Amino acid sequence: MAEGFSGKCLCGAVHYESSVDPQFIGQCHCIDCRKTSGTDHATHIAIPEDAFTVTGTLKFFDHPANSGNIVGRGFCPECGAPIYSRNSAMKGLVFVRASSLDDLEIAKPQVIVFASRAPSWRHLDPELPAYAEMPEKMPKAVSKPASS
């Protein structure tokens, strides 16, 4: 199968392509992800910004994360679907929302962050490394080796 993936918003005004496979996939239970998700968490797919091409216009909502870094959350201004976010401390990367993917099968999380904020009814995969909050640095073991 060719490398890369694609996705779109609910109305179709925004669509995108990535020329690379997901580099890192995290499931986040922070309050900001919850507030913008429709449920208790969001799943983010990290890829290099230069591998990512968006068609259509996004609106960005910038909000400070726990760390104080500014997270800009891009969504379709027509239908409100979250598409991707940027983090002021992680320049050069974009974090694509799993909900926007054409093929959700590629978005199996590798790590859980802000697990302490997950509700008691959320089953967290015991196979995955889970952090109470955001770790300073992601352990190497969970970083997917670059396929190239």
By CB under 5 A, name the binding residues for Zn ion: 9, 11, 13, 28, 30, 33, 76, 78-79
For Zn ion, the closer of residues 30 and 107 by Cβ is 30
Shortest distance (Å) from residue 13 CB to Zn ion: 4
Q: Return d(Cα 8, Cα 40) in angstroms, integer.
A: 22
For Zn ion, the closer of residues 50 and 89 by Cβ is 89
Shortest distance (Å) from residue 147 CB to Zn ion: 26
Token look-up 């996004």 returns: 58
- What are the φ/ψ torsions at residue 59 (nearest 5 degrees)? -105, 135
- H/E stretch holding 13 reads none
For Zn ion, the closer of residues 57 and 143 by Cβ is 57
Q: Return d(Cα 49, Cα 93) in angstroms, integer.
A: 5
